[in-house]
């Protein structure tokens, strides 16, 4: 754990953060504009499992996989999932470094606040487990089990929850950075 926080502290520089942020969001944009729509062509308007932040039921998964059909399941497995196996790594690292970068700006990186940098990593790990569950479901859709669907669903919810908490906290920290910035400008003007 100590090595991970040291890695984050060492790499939380502006250029690295910006580069990783751009790469991460290019991958995300590719999924939103290409791989997800290409898969959803076969879903008859049903959302893909990766795009359901509040989770899904056994019946929903069963209906989705049947609706996708052979071709849709294959596209989900060979187009969407491979890109979504790259994204969580980039998301976890880049957003951890973004959090660290802004915590550094308010002199809170060397406090217990540094553990906030772990939230994107948690979301990324949960995303991988979600993806593994989806891969198993796509490959064995005729033999779905409640246990597999519920376990995958738990990881989907953990991913969404960790991501939401992260962005709320990041917003609070960004507001704090902004307030500090304007306080410093005010102080400089009065001196």
Q: Provide, rounded to the nearest whole percent, the portion of the chain with pLDDT above 70.
A: 97
Checking if the pLDDT of 191 tops 70, the result is no
Confidence (pTM): 0.90
In 3-state terms, what secondary structure has residue 41?
coil
**Average pLDDT value for residue range 15-21:** 91
**Average pLDDT value for residue range 24-29:** 97
Token pair in block for residue 82: 């491979």
Token pair in block for residue 138: 């796509």
Distance CA 111, CA 117 (A): 12
Cβ atoms of 49 and 61 closer than 8 Å = yes
Distance CA 186, CA 188 (A): 5
pLDDT at site 8: 76
- By CB atoms closer than 10 A (0-12, 13-18, 19+), residue 24 is buried
Cβ atoms of 130 and 98 closer than 8 Å = no
**Average pLDDT value for residue range 163-191:** 88
For the chain, which residues make up each domain, given as ranges?
A: 2-190
Note the pLDDT tens digit of each residue in 56-102: 999 999 999 999 999 999 999 999 999 999 999 999 999 999 999 99
pLDDT at site 93: 93
Give DSSP secondary structure letters for 134-171.
HHHHHHTGGG--HHHHHHHHHHHHHHHHHHHHHHHHHH
Give the phi and the psi of residue 12 in degrees, each rounded to 5: -85, 50
Note the pLDDT tens digit of each residue in 144-164: 999 999 999 999 999 999 999
**Average pLDDT value for residue range 13-26:** 92
pLDDT at site 47: 96
Token pair in block for residue 57: 């039921």
Neighbours of 182 (CB within 10 A): 10
Give DSSP secondary structure letters for 27-73.
HHHHIIIIIHHHHHTTTTTPPPGGG-TT---HHHHHHHHHHHHHHHH
């Amino acid at each position: 754990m100590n090595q991970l926080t040291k890695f984050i502290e060492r790499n939380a520089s502006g250029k690295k953060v910006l580069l990783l942020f751009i790469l991460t969001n290019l991958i995300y944009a590719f999924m939103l504009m290409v791989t997800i729509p290409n898969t959803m062509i076969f879903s008859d308007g049903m959302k893909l499992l990766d795009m359901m932040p509040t989770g899904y039921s056994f019946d929903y998964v069963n209906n989705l996989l049947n609706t996708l059909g052979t071709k849709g399941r294959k596209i989900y497995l060979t187009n969407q999932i491979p890109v979504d196996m790259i994204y969580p790594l980039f998301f976890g690292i880049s957003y951890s470094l973004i959090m660290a970068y802004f915590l550094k700006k308010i002199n809170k990186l060397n406090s217990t606040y540094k553990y906030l940098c772990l939230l994107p990593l948690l979301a990324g790990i949960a995303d991988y487990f979600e993806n593994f569950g989806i891969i198993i479901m796509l490959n064995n859709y005729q033999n779905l089990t409640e246990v597999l669907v519920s376990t995958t669903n738990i990881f989907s919810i953990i991913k969404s929850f960790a991501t939401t908490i992260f962005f709320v906290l990041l917003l609070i920290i960004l507001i704090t950075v902004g307030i500090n910035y304007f306080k410093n400008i005010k102080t400089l003007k009065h001196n």
